[in-house]
Each structure stands twice: as structure tokens, then as C-alpha cells.
């Protein structure tokens, strides 16, 4: 496993923590801790500390393994909070996609831990579940095509709505590849690149438009976490292929 994906994932955790400290809150809609939770503000600052500490520890190989496991468990909490919405409204693709987004981020930590520990089967299982998450992303792009198209820059030919369908198909294709193991290295690299493009064209420009907006900063950090997670999965697939 190369170090770069792990380092990006750690940088994203640090970014999420800094956003949490700056706004005294969890990452907007992505970390749906109920505001009425006792000690909400203190928990938000504690969460930020965990993210920053885990992200820093991921930058050094000797501390990366426990840090990856801690961050995997930490981000899984938010996936669980989203999963409660599936129970309440299983017919909504949005809640499946939201759950999958947080689960995908948690899986980045799990696959990093597995790869650093030499647990190939765990890394392969994490890759397959990551693929399932991508299928949920693809479904959301198609079901909510108008909302997805609204986020695409209007200057991109051949048009925002077509890009919504294209990216949805890309998610689905990558998901199937990661689940099956067929062309999984290529799929991992391409979906990582797709998240990078999302960050560059969709999220980063919003920082200039709304520099004081919590959701904008949180969204950029969440997208960076997805970049790191996808990169880790791709690296693990490549390492497995080299050993075969």
C-alpha cells in the first residue's frame, strides 16, 4: 500500500476537525448528531479533537494502524446515525446515499488498517462494501438528477443533466468492478479521480462564493475524505494484484 491515499485521508480528517473547531459543530448534514443531544457543543469539540488527532497520527506509519482503526470506528458512528433514517424511510434513496457516504468514509479507515496489518481478506471485504456504497451514489444521481445537475457547473458541455447521468453511471460501474474484483484497480483509480474533479469543480469554487458558510467548508472536507478513502481502496487493490 502506498502512503499517499492514507495521507490524504488523514488530511481530510484534520480538515474536518478544524472545521468543527471553527464552527463549534459537527459537519453539517453529513454528521447528523441531534442538536438536543446532552452536551452537544462539548461533543462537537471532542469529535473535532478525535479527527485532528487521528488525522495527524495517520501521517506516520508507526501510528497509522491504530489511528486508521479509530477513525474507521469514529466515522462509522455517523453512518449509524444516518442508518436510523433508513429504518424510518427505507423508500428514500437519499437516506441510503447519505448512509453510504459516511460508511464509505469509515471504510477508508478500515481498509487502511487492514492493509497496514496485512489482513488481505478484510481489505477485500472492505473494498466490496465500498463498491456497494458507490452503487447507492449512482442510484442517487439518477433518482435525484435535477438536484445533481444543479451542482454541475453550467459551462461544462454537453450540459449539467447529462453529466449527472454520466457520473451516476460511473459510480455504478466502479461499484460493480470493486465488488466483483474485475478491473478493480482501474475502477478505484477512476473513482478517486472523479471525487477529485467533484472537489475542484463543485466544492472548491463555493469557498470563494460563501467563505463563511459552515456547510461549504464541511462539504469540501467530506469530499476530501471520500478522495482519501477511494485512494486507499485503490491502493489496496493494486497491492493485492502485485502479490497475486
Can you tell me the distance from the alpha carbon of 130 to that of 103, in angstroms, rounded to the nearest whole number? Answer: 8
**Residues composing the chain:** 244
A 10 A CB-CB count for 22 gives 12
Q: Tell me, what's the pLDDT at 241?
A: 85
Q: Give the number of C-alpha atoms closer than 13 A to the C-alpha of residue 149, restricted to the C-beta side.
A: 14
Q: For the whole model, what pTM was predicted? A: 0.96
pLDDT grade for 240, boundaries at 50, 70 and 90: confident
> Region 214-236: what's the mean pLDDT?
98
> In this prediction, what percent of the chain has a pLDDT beyond 70?
99
Can you tell me the distance from the alpha carbon of 102 to that of 83, in angstroms, rounded to the nearest whole number? Answer: 10
- pLDDT for 75-91, tens place per residue? 999 999 999 999 999 99
> In this prediction, what percent of the chain has a pLDDT beyond 90?
96
Asked whether the CA dihedral 211, 39, 79, 147 is positive or negative, the reply is: negative
Can you tell me the distance from the alpha carbon of 106 to that of 72, in angstroms, rounded to the nearest whole number? Answer: 4
Amino acid at each position: 500500500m502506498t502512503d499517499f491515499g492514507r495521507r490524504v485521508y488523514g488530511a481530510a480528517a484534520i480538515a474536518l476537525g478544524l472545521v468543527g473547531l471553527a464552527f463549534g459543530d459537527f459537519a453539517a448534514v453529513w454528521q447528523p448528531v441531534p442538536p438536543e443531544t446532552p452536551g452537544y457543543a462539548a461533543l462537537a469539540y471532542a469529535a473535532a479533537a478525535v479527527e485532528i488527532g487521528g488525522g495527524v497520527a495517520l501521517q506516520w506509519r508507526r501510528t497509522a494502524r491504530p489511528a486508521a482503526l479509530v477513525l474507521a470506528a469514529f466515522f462509522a458512528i455517523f453512518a449509524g446515525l444516518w442508518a436510523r433514517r433508513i429504518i424510518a424511510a427505507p423508500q428514500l434513496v437519499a437516506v441510503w446515499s447519505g448512509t453510504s457516504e459516511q460508511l464509505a468514509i469509515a471504510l477508508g479507515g478500515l481498509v487502511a488498517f487492514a492493509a497496514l496489518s496485512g489482513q488481505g481478506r478484510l481489505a477485500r471485504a472492505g473494498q466490496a462494501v465500498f463498491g456497494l456504497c458507490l452503487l447507492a451514489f449512482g442510484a442517487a444521481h439518477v433518482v435525484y438528477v435535477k438536484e445533481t445537475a444543479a451542482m454541475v457547473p453550467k459551462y461544462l458541455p454537453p450540459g449539467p443533466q447529462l453529466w449527472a447521468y454520466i457520473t451516476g453511471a460511473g459510480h455504478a460501474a466502479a461499484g460493480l468492478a470493486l465488488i466483483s474484483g474485475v478491473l478493480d484497480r482501474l475502477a478505484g483509480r477512476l473513482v478517486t479521480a472523479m471525487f477529485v474533479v467533484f472537489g475542484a469543480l463543485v466544492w472548491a469554487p463555493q469557498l470563494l462564493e460563501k467563505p463563511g458558510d459552515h456547510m461549504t467548508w464541511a462539504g469540501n472536507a467530506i469530499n476530501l475524505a471520500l478522495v482519501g478513502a477511494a485512494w486507499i481502496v485503490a491502493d489496496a487493490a493494486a497491492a493485492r494484484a502485485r502479490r497475486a
